[in-house]
Structure 1
Amino acid sequence: MILGPPEQLDSATLAFCATISPETPVYVPVRPASAARPAYCFDNSVVYAEANGGEAVYGWAIWRWPGRWFEAEHHAVWRSPAGDLLDVTPQTGEPARVLFLPDPSAPYDPSTFRRNIMAADGHEALVREYIALVAKRGAITSLYWEPGMDVLPLFSPEDQQRIAPIDARMAEILAQIA
């Protein structure tokens, strides 16, 4: 799977972003802070702002697997006192930049879990099925989420039985579209 920041702000990327926030997406350089932890963008951005001035800005990191799907991940970056944006959180794949979509309506709230938002990049039926399965799986697993949780707990035997065929079908689809 090749999921990374969109290479350019084309019409498909802009259309996906417009379904999430009326703000304009912007490429932000990634330079992880020395003490920053992967997947802790909210904490990393706040701590960096406390040490360097500026503020955390909330929104979405936009990812794309060309021809397959777009994915928006709730995210935070640091805004310097001069107004420049910087992603201080280490990113998988170590991209030089991320596409960040500011969203003032989506601040970080530790008591609220915001799922990733996905949309097909094209019209392939298997991709649409995969996205539907992600949502179906998320509806089950999100019931286990609690504020401050780093990883999901073990699922009940009943939910394990519900998740197993979803995971199997998702793996089949990924093998076919990769």
Structure 2
Amino acid sequence: MVAPGQTPGYLQVQPTPTARVNECFLNVQEQVEAEGGQMLCGWQIWEWPNVLVEAEFHAVWFSLDGRLVDVTPKQEGEGRILFVGDPSLAYAGLAKDNVRLAIRDDLLIRHFIRVSEEIVKVMNRGERAGTYGYVSIPAHEIEPLMDARSLLGRSIAEGRREKSPCLCGSGGRYKYCHGRDFPW
């Protein structure tokens, strides 16, 4: 799917003392400058059980002795990640959207994936596309999408499906309530 012909494997997460969460490219660049080796780009694979699999553009350190190490700390403190290298990728300072695949066919999951894709598009629209780190986005552009993703995420986490009562409390099924709000 994301790296044809490549084999995924688990890597240890061994953050460097100065490494920052969500800054894998900068962290690996600093590690290469300090210890040698090189950056290997690929995909960090996450699973939301029974919901979706998500591949996140990611970089790890390829040490001089041939080890692959994730030097970037994780928000939830994970000690290892599933990673697949992708020789066709290189970091060029621009964001790359995650690849998401629904595990089951459900309107809530499809909408969650589409809203996630729209958030990335808004964050990388126009001159923001070349911005690294903090990106300022007008509230009217991003807040409705973030609210929608939050509603969808909570609904999915609670085990709701497209025919379940909508989380908004209207009593109607999601499919005919907030499910209609999405143009997809």
In the superposition, the TM-score normalised over structure 2's length comes to 0.76
Structure 2: segments with no counterpart, 5+ residues: 158-184
Larger radius of gyration: 2
- Is it true that 1:57 corresponds to 2:69 in the alignment? no
Equivalent residue for 1:175, pick from 154, 162, 169? 154
Number of residue-to-residue matches in the alignment: 155
2: distance between equivalents of 1:129 and 1:39? 25
Residue 96 of structure 2 aligns with which residue? 114
**Which has the bigger relative contact order, CA under 8 A and spacing at least 6?**
1
1:45 corresponds to which letter in structure 2? V
2:112 corresponds to which letter in structure 1? Y
Equivalent residue for 1:132, pick from 114, 119, 126? 114
1: distance between equivalents of 2:43 and 2:144? 30
C-alpha deviation, 1:31, in angstroms: 0.8
Q: Residue deviations 1:76-113, cap 9 Å, x none?
A: 11112221111111111111101111011111101x32
Contact 2:97 2:117 (C-alpha < 8 Å) held by counterparts: no
1:47 corresponds to which letter in structure 2? E
Structure 1: segments with no counterpart, 5+ residues: 1-18
Contact 2:60 2:71 (C-alpha < 8 Å) held by counterparts: yes
3-state DSSP class of the match of 1:35?
A: coil
Residue 84 of structure 1 aligns with which residue? 67
Q: Residue deviations 1:118-149, cap 9 Å, x none?
A: 11122232111111122233323320524343
In the superposition, the TM-score normalised over structure 1's length comes to 0.78
Query: Which of structure 1's runs of 4+ aligned residues deviate more than 4 A?
Result: none
2: distance between equivalents of 1:65 and 1:134? 14
The percent identity for this pair of structures is 33
Q: Residue deviations 1:42-73, cap 9 Å, x none?
A: 12112212222221111111111111111111
